[in-house]
Amino acid sequence: MPRPTSNTLSIPSLTAPVAMGYIPLGAVFGFLFVQAGGPGWLALVSSLLIYAGAAQFMMVPMLAAGLPIGAIALATLVLNLRHVFYGLSLLNTLPANRWLRWYSIFALTDETYSVLTALPARERAPRMALLSALNQGWWVLGTALGAVLGAQAQVGLTGLDFVLAALFAVLAVEQWRARRDAVPVWVAAAAYAAGNALMPSQALAIAIALCLLATALRPARPAPAAETAHD
């Protein structure tokens, strides 16, 4: 993919756009977590140990509702399944040092992945760990700011938790941009309608099962030419 190379290769220019997103979004997470009644230090622990934005946003109402731990773990599994497919395309581009390698795997978020894939393959390994650490730093910093604000604010804004739906919409657009295949969208819409008709309280779980089934049974597409770009 031709991209302007000279000014996209330095670490600050790679991490700056991520900082612009992670500090405010991390702050919304910290804010919502504290407003839902959680202690600020646990919001920080989440951002240090889980470090998966969409899953952390999803966890707030689930924790507030006191859902079973297994149900929250299952939801996390489904939500973060996409990370398996990210890793597959970065297979041979990890740092050589074992600790840096494991940290880079742990910290492979959507944004870090998309910044890395914008780099030429041989530039990725030496920059991956530092870039990942900076990106997580912005996320943790945002969380801390939001938790402090959330502890002081008196009124919650109704609808601020729409940020989760907005985040899913952004991720869906980016998945669409990568594949341009309408079938998964229609499969999902039909599966959710079916799940909602069968058992509204379990609509999502039923819909996920139906999507898995439909995807597995779908006849294979002729491989597009761009698929060979496994570098």
Partner 1 sequence: MTDTGYVLAVIALMALVTVLLRALPFIAGHWLRRHPMVHKLGASLPLSIMVLLLIDAAAGQARAHGGLPWQELAAVILVILLQWRTRQPLLSIAAGTALYVGLRAL
Binders of partner 1 among 118-157, rule CB under 8 A?
Answer: 157
Q: How far is the CB of 100 from partner 1 (least distance, A)?
A: 13
Contact in structure between 58 and 177 (CB atoms under 8 Å): no
Smaller CB separation from partner 1, 11 or 85: 85
Q: Is 51 in the site for partner 1 (CB under 8 A)?
A: yes
Written as six digits, the tokens of 83 are 């990370």
How many residues would you count in the chain? Answer: 231
List the interface residues with partner 1, window 92-111 (CB under 8 A).
94, 105-106, 108, 111
- Tell me which of 11, 16, 77, 198 binds partner 1, using CB under 8 A: 77
Side chain identity at residue 55, one-letter code:
A
Please calculate the CA angle 111-226-135 and round it to the nearest 5 degrees.
Answer: 10
Confirm or reject binding of residue 83 to partner 1 (CB under 8 A).
Answer: yes
The residue (of 127 and 191) whose beta carbon lies closer to partner 1 is 191
| CB-CB contact of 35 with 149 (8 Å) | no
Which of the residues 177 through 206 are near partner 1 (CB under 8 A)?
177, 179, 181, 183-185, 187-189, 191-192, 196, 203-204
Instruction: Name 199's Cβ contacts closer than 8 Å, sequence gap at least 6.
Output: 206
Euclidean distance between CA atoms 76 and 54, whole angstroms: 9
- Where are any strands of DSSP class E within 45-180? none
Nearer Cβ to partner 1 (117/196)? 196
- Closer of 9 and 175 to partner 1 (Cβ): 175
From candidates 216, 222, 225, 226, binder to partner 1 by CB under 8 A: 216
Q: Which of residues 30-49 bind partner 1 (CB under 8 A)?
A: 36-39, 42, 45-46, 49
Q: Indicate whether 55 belongs to the interface with partner 1 (CB under 8 A).
A: yes
Nearer residue to partner 1 within complex by CB, 24 or 148: 24
Task: For residue 166, give every residue at least 6 positions away whose Cβ sits within 8 Å of its Cβ, in sequence order, or none.
Answer: none
Who contacts 88 (Cβ-Cβ below 8 Å, separation ≥6)? none
